[in-house]
Amino acid sequence: MPIITLPEGSQRTFPQPVSIADLAADIGPGLAKATLAGRIDGQLVDTTFILEQDANVSLITVCDPEGLEILRHSCAHLLAMAVKQLYPGAQVTIGPVIEDGFFYDFAFERPFTPDDLAQIEARMQELAAADLPLSRRELPSDEAVAYFDQLGESYKAELIRAIPAGESLSLYRQGDFEDLCRGPHVPSTGKLQAFKLTKVAGAYWRGDAKNAMLQRIYGTCWPDAKALKAYLTRLEEAGKRDHRKLGAQLDLFHFDDCAPGSVFWHPKGWILFQQLIGYMRTQQERADYVEVNTPDVMDRGLWETSGHWFNYREAMFTTTTEDERVFALKPMNCPGAVSLFAQGLKSYRDLPLRMAEFGKVHRDEPSGALHGLLRVRHFTQDDAHIFCTPTQMQDECAGTIGLVFAIYRDFGFDNVAVRLSTRPANRIGSDETWDQLEGALSGALDRMSIDYRINPSEGAFYGPKLEFVLRDAIGRDWQCGTLQVDLNLPERFDISYINEQGECERPVMLHRALFGSLERFTGILIEHYGGLFPLWLAPQQAVVLNISEGQADYAQSVLKALKKARVRAAIDLRNEKIGYKIREYTLQKVPYLLVVGDEEKAKGCIAVRSRAGEDLGSLPLAEVIARLRQEAQPPGSEGSC
């Protein structure tokens, strides 16, 4: 007679073992219909799971994050089933859940076309409408290999061969389709009501370019049609805001195969990039940082001492000199900062020492992972390393967290989530050290009353970290800034300071990046603003447009006055109709269009028009300049332009 304890503390007793589905039905028909799975003492199970003894049980619906993930994983299986029915020669490989959806990789003799995707989606709709029940069974790994070999599914068999022999594996069946999976899954395909296949792309088997090229079909799945429609609308808006498209339209940057994963900044893009650096430099100066710079290329021995050579070697670019010394382009700035700290004797009176660096780093990202400004091989970090005493550690964490939130607010990111990534399996340092470091981060968050989520085992190999996740104007999340605490690198490099007792003591080292990668943050901003940058960031703040040749000289004098006032302005004296010019610069998203005709020339005025099409009237030149200078002040600039 199992006693079932529900999350709110209530209990239900049954005269015999019951399934998760039976438990939901006993509570109410509405919950029975909505339940997708259960959680028993922390473990997710299918609704068919039988409760034979006392347990703490939660019922999972689409309102739970786990429920949405189950829905999407089941939809990936529905996709695979539809593909196998339509194209029996296709082999299935893997089909995981990803952010906002799922994908499944297939080995097939020809590329899938948009027409194929339409047919596959239509078959998925038919299979969902059939409301096929899902059932689970277990097989030893050797029997599972033989089973999938018999089906001609060599990729599945290869996956299972990597699992220890004799280990029991679970398979899920719906109709005539059966797939390897840990589960859990929805009770039946009828639960899958709102889904859409979005695209097809190439993908290497197991992500290795040496392996066969597969075809990856992407899809999305949501609890209902309304949520699906909202997502597709957001996806359409994201397409319009794509930073690669806007980068070309606004003449900001380009990429070239001669330097894959590296940005060629055009003049306008470089202005934008430098505005970000200038803003961050100002914020750091106010927070008592000093700015430093370290070499791009350093000896292998440094990276061995830091641990990067053994934990990060596959992502490092290396070179060997004629005297056989091995050097690496730095993938991180940390060892250089330690080297700076080690120069000269440090006292407790010198701490905290906050060293900032706009450091160029180089990482050998897989070519298939490169994505415009968002994933590059050569980028700039707004890095900083804070050396402090153990008693200062939590205060420094709190100060950095406060700075992060203030900076993100200046860019319009008011929704910031925090994740605490804890010790990974592959790490350096003792458990006692990790306890101290993780406690400093969680303690700072707790005292600032900031909610956070724990990411187990996702910390760096040398220390735990906080990740700051921004939500942009159209509801997408971006992981940007990080804060890590570290006692391991100071130990490995044997650095110290003289404490109040005149003894040598190890400093605590904080690793901090607020934008993260400036290239990536620039890409995020382009999409967040849709190219409509606030005036202080806009590469070109105004353009002077004459109506006819008769105002050319006056237009030039206006431009000269604007530039003298440090307004980033340009001029267009082409013999084109003024309406044509206005349309062109509106598409280029220039914030202010300054039109001069005979009347403006006679009065010493300018007809001011915003990029939104708002007519601000004819204003004296001095008033226009004052207005632009005021609006162009960076956030928190305290009146300086």
Phi-psi region of 605 (alpha: psi -120 to 50; beta: other; left: phi over 0): beta
- Residue 580 and residue 611: Cα distance in Å, rounded? 14
Task: Report pLDDT for 210.
Answer: 85
User: Reading across the β-sheet that carries 43-45, which strands appear in turn?
Assistant: 11-13, 3-5, 55-60, 37-40, 43-45
Q: Residue 109 has which token pair?
A: 């003799």
- Supply the DSSP symbol for 363: -
Sign of CA dihedral 405, 406, 407, 412: positive
- In CATH terms, 542-631 corresponds, of 3.40.630.180, 3.40.50.800, 3.50.50.60, 3.40.50.10440, to 3.40.50.800
CA distances (Å), origin 112, targets 95, 98, 240: 17, 21, 25
- Residues labelled as active-site residues: 334, 363, 381, 383, 385, 465, 511
pLDDT value of residue 354:
97
CATH assignment of 261-295+332-529? 3.30.930.10
579 CB-contact burial (10 Å; exposed 0-12 / middle 13-18 / buried 19+)? exposed
Q: Where do the structural domains in the chain lie, given as residue ranges?
A: 3-61, 66-240, 261-295+332-529, 542-631
Sign of the torsion angle spanned by Cα atoms 621, 622, 624, 629: positive
pLDDT of residue 638: 57
pLDDT at position 637 is 66
The answer to whether 529 touches 272, Cβ cutoff 8 Å, is no
Q: Is the CB of residue 572 less than 8 Å from the CB of residue 548?
A: no
> In whole angstroms, how far apart are CA 232 and each of 59, 197, 210, 219?
29, 11, 35, 11
Q: Classify each residue of 90-107 as buried b or exposed e, where b means 16 or more C-beta atoms within 10 Å of its C-beta.
A: bbbbbbebeebbbbbbbb
Residue 172 CA to residue 183 CA, distance in Å, equals: 8
Instruction: For domain 3-61, say whether CATH 2.40.50.420 is its number.
Output: no
CATH 1.10.287.1080 fits 66-240, yes or no: no
What is the end-to-end Cα distance of the chain in Å, rounded?
A: 75
Contact 422, 387 (CB under 8 A): no
Report residues of the chain scoring pLDDT below 50.
639-641
Q: Annotated binding residue at 362?
A: no
**CA 379 to chain centroid:** 16
Q: Across-strand partners of 239?
A: none
Q: Is the pTM of this model over 0.85?
A: no
Q: What is the pLDDT of residue 492?
A: 92
pLDDT value of position 257: 92
Q: Is 334 annotated as a binding residue?
A: yes
DSSP letters along 84-113, please? HHH-TT-EE----EETTEEEEEEE-SS---
- Cβ atoms of 385 and 509 closer than 8 Å: yes
pLDDT at res. 293: 96
3-state DSSP percent of the chain in helix, strand and coil, to 5: 40, 30, 35
Helix axis angle, 141-151 relative to 154-161, nearest 10°? 160
